[in-house]
Amino acid sequence: MPNVVVIGAQWGDEGKGKVVDLLTQFADVVVRFQGGNNAGHTLVVGGEKTILHLIPAGILHPGKTCVIGNGVVIDPSVMVGEIDKLKAKGAFQDERQLVISLDAHVIMPWHKAIDLAREQALGDGKLGTTGRGIGPTYEDKVARRGIRIRDLVDEARLARRVAERLPSAREELRRLGAASDLDEGAIVRQYAELGRRLARYAADASLVLHQAIRGGRSLLFEGAQGTMLDVDHGTYPFVTSSNTVAGNAATGSGIGPTEIDTVIGISKAYSTRVGGGPYPTELKDDIGEKLRQIGHEFGATTGRPRRTGWFDALALRYAARVNGFDGLAITKLDVLTGFPEIKVAVAYRLRGKVVEEMPCDIEELGRCEPVYETLPGWTEKLDGVRAWGGLPQNARSYVERLAKLVGVKVMGVSVGADRGETILLDNPFKR
Ligand code: IMP
């Protein structure tokens, strides 16, 4: 049975949650492998909105297992909050549906405090992080002083780890001019309690996935954020602190790369970005505002208005390269209805020269001016369209042009927020 990875091809918020939710019906296990509650999926199921930050949307499908891999950083209070919220809605009735890796790292109070204090200290040069403690938690992981789920579920061990780490965390907060009055006893008590709530889900996730694969079950890997936010391959340093690209689906979950059959990239029909960093196709005019309003481009996690712009074919080609996409899903095509013309960046102008590959250096990228191709728009509403042939000719030509520019075939088009508002052209689980 195929194992499929779904990756954001832009700066995050591409509508991965919806595509993953749609594909979940064909998979047995949904896996998160990086990021934390900096992500956020707004799902509309039967007209009702549900926002999840950590638990895969697959939890809404009875019988599906959701695995939080070792590569994820977990805020245990957010995790417990999501579990409670789901249960209150009558979802997630079977405890076996959720597996949390014992090796996943835990976001502690000092991580959040350091994240916020650092951003404040950076002033205008801030990264625009989500303030959830993501970066400092990954730093502690790499510095080999992190606290993992296996520590959280063992109070004595947790107390030791907190005692070891707290003095240097306090010192850093003092240096940053932030409040450093973290109460060791209170933290241990609060987190040990959260550990007790999560203990029943904690397991060797790599082994769980291995057994699922051996049992012929299909895995769906759900990327968080997007390719341009990858710590190695994104617009560094305006990135998140994990690898968001497809290769990390293996490392962040404990399977071998040979188990992955298909990698699907998700892109909006235009583009958005939250936080700082270069963004050549950004529209700071009325058109950008119109995209923001029609597309409801406000962060699911922070509520911040997203920066908006035209589709950038260079960014997409780059994403196709570093992820190895073999399919592309285009989301929010309906948002473009009513725009008389639609632009696509097909090259950049850099120091008087035309370049066709995205420069890796952000200072160079910041100097790039997009070279646009203009395509005709359409006026028909798309939300009722369920088949490729039902799309207006100009909408079809637009999607076909994007696919040609990126060099990857389109496997799906999304025309509205609801699960049903999708045209699936090629099902990666049925190949
Ligand atoms: P962090 O992940 O909170 O450290 O933030 C680093 C950068 O990644 C900031 O520019 C955030 O706005 C961005 N970011 C993090 N998570 C997401 C996401 O899920 N969607 C879009 N941008 C994100």
Q: Model confidence over 301-341: pLDDT tens digits?
A: 778 899 999 999 999 999 999 999 999 999 999 999 999 99
Q: What does the pLDDT read at residue 45?
A: 58
Pick the CATH number of 4-101+203-262 from 3.40.50.300, 1.10.1140.10, 3.40.50.11900, 3.40.440.10: 3.40.440.10
Instruction: Determine the Cα–Cα distance for residues 279 and 357; give it in Å rounded to an integer.
Output: 15
For the Cβ of 129 lying below 6 angstroms from any atom of ligand 1, the answer is: yes
Residues spanned by CATH 3.90.170.10 within the chain? 266-424
Distances (CA, A) of 6 to 18, 24, 101, 125: 11, 11, 20, 32
Look at residue 237 in the predicted model and tell me its pLDDT. Answer: 94
Q: Closest ligand 1 atom to the C-alpha of 304? A: 12
Give the catalytic positions in this structure: 13, 41
In this predicted structure, the answer to whether residue 3 has a pLDDT above a threshold of 90 is yes
Ligand 1 centroid to residue 238 C-alpha, Å: 9
Output the residue whose Cα is nearest ligand 1's atom 16.
38
Helix ranges (DSSP H) in 200-295 = 205-214, 248-251, 286-294
Global pTM value: 0.96
Burial of residue 264 (CB within 10 Å: 0-12, 13-18, 19+) is buried
Locate the ligand 1 atom nearest the alpha carbon of residue 13 and give its number: 20
Asked if 26 and 430 touch (Cβ cutoff 8 Å), the reply is yes
| Interaxial angle between packed helices 155-175 and 109-122, expressed in degrees from 0 to 180 and rounded to the nearest 10 | 20
Q: What is the mean pLDDT of the chain?
A: 95
Per-residue pLDDT of 343-360, as tens digits, reads 999 999 999 999 999 998
Of 7, 37, 141, 225, which is best to mutate to test ligand 1, by the most ligand atoms within 8 angstroms of its C-beta? Answer: 225
Nearest CA to ligand 1 atom 5: 129
> Which residues, 6 or more positions from 151, have their beta carbon under 8 angstroms from its beta carbon?
106, 157, 158, 161
Give percent above pLDDT 70 in the chain: 99
Write down the CATH number for the domain with range 266-424: 3.90.170.10
Which overall architecture, per CATH, does domain 105-198 show? Orthogonal Bundle (1.10)
- Is any ligand 1 atom within 6 A of the Cβ of residue 240? yes
8 A C-beta contact, residue 30 and residue 68: no
* Tokens 């730093």, residue located: 139
73 DSSP 8-state letter: E
The pLDDT, as a whole number, for residue 66 is: 97
Per-state percent for the chain, helix, strand, coil, to nearest 5: 40, 20, 40
The CA 130 to ligand 1 mean position distance, Å, reads: 6
Give CA–CA dist 405/403, Å, rounded. Answer: 6
Tell me, using a 6 A CB cutoff, whether residue 127 lines ligand 1. yes
Amino acid at 275: G
Encode pLDDT of 13-66 as tens digits: 999 988 998 899 999 999 999 999 999 887 665 667 778 899 998 898 999 999
Contact by Cβ (8 Å): 115, 241: no
Q: Is 275 in the pocket of ligand 1 (CB under 6 A)?
A: yes
37 touches ligand 1 (CB under 6 Å): no
Residue 132: in which H helix or E strand, if any? none
Q: Where in the chain is the domain with CATH 3.40.440.10?
A: 4-101+203-262
Using only the alpha carbons of the chain, give its radius of gyration: 21
Q: Which residues belong to CATH 1.10.300.10 in the chain?
A: 105-198
Q: Is any atom of ligand 1 closer than 6 Å to the C-beta of 346? A: no
